Amino acid sequence: MAEIVILINIAGAVALLMWGTYVIRTGMMRTFGAKLRSFLGRWLTNRFSGFGAGFVLSSLLQSSTAATLLVSGLQKKGLVSTAIALAAVIGANFGSAVMVRVLSLNIDAVSPLLIAVGVYLFMKKSDTALGQFGRVLMGLGVVMLALTLIGHITTPIKDSAAMMALFHSIEGNAFFCTVLGIGLAFLCFSSLAVVIIDAGLVAAGVLAVSSGLWIVLGANLGTAFLASVTTMGSDAMTRRAPMGNTIFRVLCFVIGAAALILIPEVSRAFESMASDQVIWFHVVFNAVSGVLGLIILNPVAALVDRLLPAAPMVSTGTESLTEDSLSDPETAFHLAEGEIEKTCWFVSEFWRKAGDLITKNPAVGAVMLLRQDYPMIRQRCHAVNSYLSRIVQTSLTPSEIARWEELHAKNADLQSIGHEIDKVIAGLGEHKVKKERFFDEQGEKELLEAHARIADDLKTALDYLSADDPVKREAAHKKLLATRKTLNDNELALVQSHMDRVSRGDFKAIETSALHIALINRFRRLRTKINELAELSF
């Protein structure tokens, strides 16, 4: 029974540690997300600055795995080469090791203060940058508390005969200790927790220092495997940095293992330390690995590029909507707004092309080709909708929720507008182009004028969505709202004018009458949908 309680307590402490690092990571991304990406964009220029950028990023996010995934997102966009991305990942590994050393210092007395200040800031100002920074302080305090708990929980293991027998069974077995380190890295999603647990077991006398060193080697290998597994379903570009890190880690593991086996002085040097032996081994191992990594960086990067050749990039038009941007709502909303603006432009172009069918009867294949624009618009809208759905899964402030609702509504309106345009083109293709019919001269002129009004509405909508100047945006907003007053009058005038020509016996007017009336109704629906874009403002 005592053994079960010990295991439950360890699991709870590790879960608390994982939660703390998650809170730090999300708080940093929400507070400094855009600045972190800007920082990476400026510093990922050569191997040394890339190494430094990875070191800083991992130190801030408290996770080399998270840093690796963020760098992979940049590489997916083609912003960094494999060599520089790998340099950043190597720096992230070293940064994570240094943070283990810092967080394991005897500063647990600060933990309650950090938690108290962090909770106060977050509860009082959760919708501000200061409130989100409170998450960082709260997470840091939780991490320190979890580390203290782990240190206390590992001590009673020595009093459990069953637990001691379990650990004695792997004592001195390098293979089992390495496997244990790899397994714990996958369970904890971080080498930080594994090294701290390992250090606690060694400090409590449960494990010998030599066994603890092998667990550290396994933990470092496990985190590399973890990043590769996490990105396994991604494209080749995204997988390059994690795979390069895995190849590099395997090589460093072999070198580290050879040093422990063939050079006994290495193990004895750490065993002679008074405390924190495995933590210092973790730091030294990653420091030496970092130096080696920078030396052999280009050959490893070239190997990865050959193993994972980049497929020809087929643009979906929404490549900016990446997973790594979701941690920072401000950045995520900005990206979604940009894609909605682009969709509005595509819709405008779709409508412009549709105008040719009012006056011409091209080949049926040309109409089918024109209609292919709508699936692309629909795909863009679905991509933005999916992205917005992932944003809402994070904790949002009331103002962020309102902004999310506005973006979601505008994205839906644009898809509906695209659908209406597709129906207009389908109607013209089926009842005019196929049958080689033409509108009467006055009817054609009126339809072209109505088409031009909608084109102007779409241009105004695009100005409204994309204007950086508040004055210009407000002017476009008022212009869109003003169109509603004329919708019914315009439709009635067009219908009446057409029916007058039909009553006079105009052959072309009679022949295209059903289509003409249907188009007027479609045009009205289009203007109504465009008008709805202005009913909410960003």
Taking residues 342-371, report their average pLDDT: 86
* DSSP per-residue string spanning 368-390: HHHHTHHHHHHHHHHHHHHHHHH
In this structure, the chain runs to a length of 538
- Please state which of the ranges 3-7, 302-306, 436-440 shows the lowest mean pLDDT: 3-7
For 443-484, write each residue's pLDDT tens digit.
Answer: 889 889 888 988 988 888 888 877 767 777 778 777 777 766
For 166-220, write each residue's pLDDT tens digit.
Answer: 777 777 788 889 998 888 888 877 777 788 888 888 887 788 888 889 999 998 8
Contacts of 3 (CB under 8 A, 6+ apart): 160, 162, 163
The domains of the chain, with CATH numbers, are 1-307 (no CATH), 329-533 (1.20.58)
- Treating both helix axes as pointing N-terminal to C-terminal, what angle do 513-532 and 487-503 enclose, rounded to 10 degrees? 170
Contact yes or no for 30/328 (Cβ under 8 A)? yes
In SS3 terms, 13-37 reads as: HHHHHHHHHHHHHHHHHHHHHHHHH
d(CA 391, CA 33): 14
Among residues 170, 171, 167, 214, which one has the least CA distance to residue 194?
A: 214
> Which strand (E) or helix (H) includes residue 419?
helix 398-428
Contacts of 458 (CB under 8 A, 6+ apart): 344, 347, 348, 351, 417, 530
Contact yes or no for 86/44 (Cβ under 8 A)? no
- Please state which of the ranges 315-319, 342-346, 445-449 shows the lowest mean pLDDT: 315-319
157 or 403, greater pLDDT = 403
538 or 123, greater pLDDT = 123
For 387-431, write each residue's pLDDT tens digit.
Answer: 888 776 666 777 778 888 888 888 898 999 999 999 999 989 888
Tokens 């409508």 map to which residue? 351
Tokens 């040097």 map to which residue? 269
Q: Is the pLDDT of residue 248 over 80?
A: yes
Q: What is the DSSP letter of 110?
A: G
162 or 217, greater pLDDT = 217
Q: What is the DSSP letter of 538?
A: -
Tokens 């294949």 map to which residue? 365
User: Is the Cα dihedral 481, 482, 486, 491 positive or negative?
Assistant: negative
What separation, in Å, do the N-terminal and C-terminal C-alpha atoms of the chain show? Answer: 59
> Which strand (E) or helix (H) includes residue 523?
helix 513-532
For residue 484, count CB atoms less than 10 angstroms from its CB and return exposed for 0-12, middle for 13-18, buried for 19 or more. Answer: middle
Contacts of 199 (CB under 8 A, 6+ apart): 104, 212, 276, 277, 278, 279
Which pLDDT value is given to residue 312? Answer: 44
* DSSP per-residue string spanning 229-293: HHTTTS-HHHHHHHHHHHHHHHHHHHHHHHHHHH-HHHHHHHHTSSS-HHHHHHHHHHHHHHHHH
Q: What is the DSSP letter of 189?
A: T
Q: Is the pLDDT of residue 315 over 50?
A: no
For 9-54, write each residue's pLDDT tens digit.
Answer: 878 888 888 888 778 777 776 666 556 666 666 667 778 888 888 8
For residue 233, count CB atoms less than 10 angstroms from its CB and return exposed for 0-12, middle for 13-18, buried for 19 or more. Answer: exposed
- Please state which of the ranges 94-98, 298-302, 365-369 shows the lowest mean pLDDT: 365-369
d(CA 435, CA 277): 86
d(CA 336, CA 345): 14
Among residues 461, 454, 456, 485, which one has the least CA distance to residue 533?
A: 461
In angstroms, what CA-CA distances link 475 with 411, 459, 470, 533? 21, 13, 9, 14
d(CA 433, CA 370): 13
